[in-house]
């Protein structure tokens, strides 16, 4: 049983760091909820701006990016305990080094808490059994998606193998439940 855990928006609050940076630069007071869709079509900034600024944050200021949840290390470890292979996967290019440093800063180590850190634009090609991701475009593309609920994926319905979850613990319980059902 192979599990894929996404980095941006699932482990790391990248979008929140972006909003903070954007607000301070232009004296705005936007919130995460203002990123109302994944392509930023309803947002007060473009997807390109979001990608460029977050690339820069990951390059120069990655320590300022907070985790999405408290006790992240314990929660990732608990997912690791139910599967022989847990990969942390990102579609973002050229930031693997910083992302691995970020994970270590939060006590999450390769081999101890996850199997591999993988950079792959087409995550669904990696063939994991379960995906914990906030990207609404994986809905219907992967076998089983635990869609980490965020303001930018609210339009996705729970069908075709997608289940909305509000925490990593909830995703873990869902995986355990399905894995058990497969064995029965
Ligand atoms: Mg993501």
Q: What is the pLDDT of residues 2-61, one digit of tens each?
A: 999 999 999 999 999 999 999 999 999 999 999 999 999 999 999 999 999 999 999 999
CA atoms within 13 A on the CB side of 66: 9
**Closest-CA residue to 28 (of 13, 43, 40, 42):** 43
Our measurement of the distance from residue 29's CA atom to the centroid of its chain's CA atoms, rounded to an integer in Å, reads 24
182: pLDDT strictly greater than 80: no
Q: What is the CATH number of the domain that holds 91?
A: 3.40.50.1000
CB atoms within 10 A of CB 58: 24
Q: What's the pTM value of the predicted model, to 2 decimals?
A: 0.96
Residues 93 and 123 in one domain: yes
Residues 7 and 36 in one domain: no
Domain total of the chain: 2
Distance 134 CA to ligand 1 centre (A): 5
87 part of the active site: no
180: pLDDT strictly greater than 90: no
Range of the domain at 6: 2-12+66-183
Q: Are 21 and 50 in contact (CB under 8 A)?
A: no
Residues 36 and 123 in one domain: no
Distance 184 CA to ligand 1 centre (A): 32
| Residue reference for tokens 């050229």 | 94
Residues 92 and 176 in one domain: yes
Q: How far is it, in rounded angstroms, from Cα 106 to Cα 103?
A: 5
Distance 178 CA to ligand 1 centre (A): 23
Q: Are 6 and 120 in contact (CB under 8 A)?
A: no
6 part of the active site: yes
Residues 77 and 147 in one domain: yes
CB atoms within 10 A of CB 62: 18
Residues 117 and 127 in one domain: yes
Residues 34 and 78 in one domain: no
Q: Predicted confidence band at 112 (pLDDT cuts at 50, 70, 90)?
A: very high
Residues 85 and 43 in one domain: no
Residues 81 and 140 in one domain: yes
Residues 127 and 176 in one domain: yes
Residues 8 and 81 in one domain: yes
Residue where a domain terminates, one of 47, 64, 81: 64
Q: Predicted confidence band at 181 (pLDDT cuts at 50, 70, 90)?
A: confident
**Closest-CA residue to 136 (of 173, 164, 167):** 164
Residues 38 and 103 in one domain: no
pLDDT of residue 8: 98
pLDDT of residue 150: 98
- The token pair that represents 113 in the structure block: 């808490």
Catalytic residue among 6, 87, 133, 134: 6
Calculate what percentage of the chain has a pLDDT beyond 70.
99
**pLDDT tens string 123-160:** 988 999 999 999 999 999 998 999 999 999 999 999 98
Residue where a domain terminates, one of 29, 46, 64: 64
């Amino acid at each position: 049983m192979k599990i894929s855990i996404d980095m941006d928006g699932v482990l790391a609050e990248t979008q929140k760091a972006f909003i903070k940076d954007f607000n301070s630069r232009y004296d705005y007071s936007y919130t995460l909820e203002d990123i109302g869709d994944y392509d930023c079509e309803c947002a007060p900034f473009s997807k390109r701006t979001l990608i460029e600024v977050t690339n820069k944050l990951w390059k120069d200021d990655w320590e300022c990016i907070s985790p999405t949840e408290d006790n992240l290390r314990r929660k990732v470890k608990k997912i690791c305990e139910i599967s022989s292979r847990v990969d942390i996967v990102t579609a973002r290019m050229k930031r693997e080094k910083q992302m691995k440093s970020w994970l270590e800063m939060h006590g999450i180590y390769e081999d101890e808490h996850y199997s591999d850190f993988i950079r792959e634009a087409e995550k669904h090609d990696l063939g994991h059994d379960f995906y914990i991701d906030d990207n609404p475009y994986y809905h219907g593309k992967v076998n089983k998606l635990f869609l980490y609920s965020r303001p930018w994926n609210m339009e996705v319905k729970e069908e075709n193998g997608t289940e909305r979850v509000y925490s990593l613990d909830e995703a873990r319980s869902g995986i355990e439940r399905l894995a058990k059902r497969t064995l029965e």
